[in-house]
Amino acid sequence: MKQNVIQFLRLCFYGVVIRPILILMLGLNVRHLERLSVEDMPRLIAANHNSHLDALVLMSLFKLADLPKVKVVAAKDYFCRTPFLTWFSMNIIGIIPIDRKGGEQDPLAPVLSALDAGYTVVIFPEGTRGDPEKRQPLKYGISKVLEQRPDTQITPVFMHGLGKSLPRGEAMLVPFVCEINIGEAVRWDGDRTHLIETLGACFDTLEAELEPKEWL
């Protein structure tokens, strides 16, 4: 299929289907949306991971005009189960499939090449979704990306609520308002451990600002 047809389908998918559904069914309560720019490339958007909906919600936050410049990292074993789903995930949702089981190839290579191609890449530095609404320790993968592409900025995004709406292992969606807090960009300062600590502290601040309602 021609690239501009796919691009049109993608804008329709987000603009006409996903965004209205998410806004109506869940409700997105976003703070500091202006921090989510795609202008100064290259850029990573780093978010905490609670639900399969995370990727769709994060993509919906971008202006439609910016969408062609954004991709989201997603689990290959979930998003590429069938040939059609693979096509749909890659072209319409706009995922970069990552092999979680660690195939023969370097799992970060696709992220690096997307950054090199000028994309803003959404990643989940916790790796897996884990227990819903419980933050996992950040993995070192994101720091390896920065080590190899030191110009990259990281914009941290903290989300709360999707893990209540659709947590791991549940098929039934129950609407809860999704709270989102976007932080200031973090830059590479030459040390991987320090980067992970800085990013972790950003997430702590963003979470504290939201005062999320945890399960009792």
- Verify binding: residue 175, another protein, rule CB under 8 A: yes
String of contacts with another protein for each residue 11-50, x by CB under 8 A? ---------------xx-x---------------------
- Verify binding: residue 176, another protein, rule CB under 8 A: yes
Signed CA dihedral, 190, 31, 123, 212: sign only: positive
Distance CA 108, CA 158 (A): 22
With CB under 8 A as the contact rule, the residue among 17, 177, 201, 208 that binds another protein is 177
Q: Considering beta carbons, is residue 84 or 215 the nearer one to another protein?
A: 215
Q: Kindly determine how many residues on this chain lie close enough to bind another protein according to the rule CB under 8 A.
A: 15
H/E element, 193: helix 192-210
- In single-letter form, the type of residue at position 31 comes to R
Signed CA dihedral, 176, 36, 123, 6: sign only: positive
Please name the residue ranges forming H helices in 24-108.
53-61, 76-79, 83-88
Q: Considering beta carbons, is residue 16 or 173 the nearer one to another protein?
A: 173
With CB under 8 A as the contact rule, the residue among 12, 33, 109, 174 that binds another protein is 174
- Verify binding: residue 125, another protein, rule CB under 8 A: no
Task: Find the shortest distance in angstroms from Cβ 115 to another protein.
Answer: 33
Contact 77, 43 (CB under 8 A): no
Measure CA 202 to chain center. 16
Task: Find the shortest distance in angstroms from Cβ 31 to another protein.
Answer: 9
Task: Find the shortest distance in angstroms from Cβ 103 to another protein.
Answer: 34
Distance CA 43, CA 15 (A): 23
Distance CA 65, CA 62 (A): 8
- Verify binding: residue 194, another protein, rule CB under 8 A: no
With CB under 8 A as the contact rule, the residue among 3, 4, 84, 215 that binds another protein is 215
Please name the residue ranges forming H helices in 36-99.
53-61, 76-79, 83-88
Which among 42-50, 104-112, 146-154, 173-181 is the span making contact with another protein, rule CB under 8 A? 173-181
Q: Which residues bind another protein (CB under 8 A)?
A: 26-27, 29, 161, 164, 170, 172, 174-177, 213-216
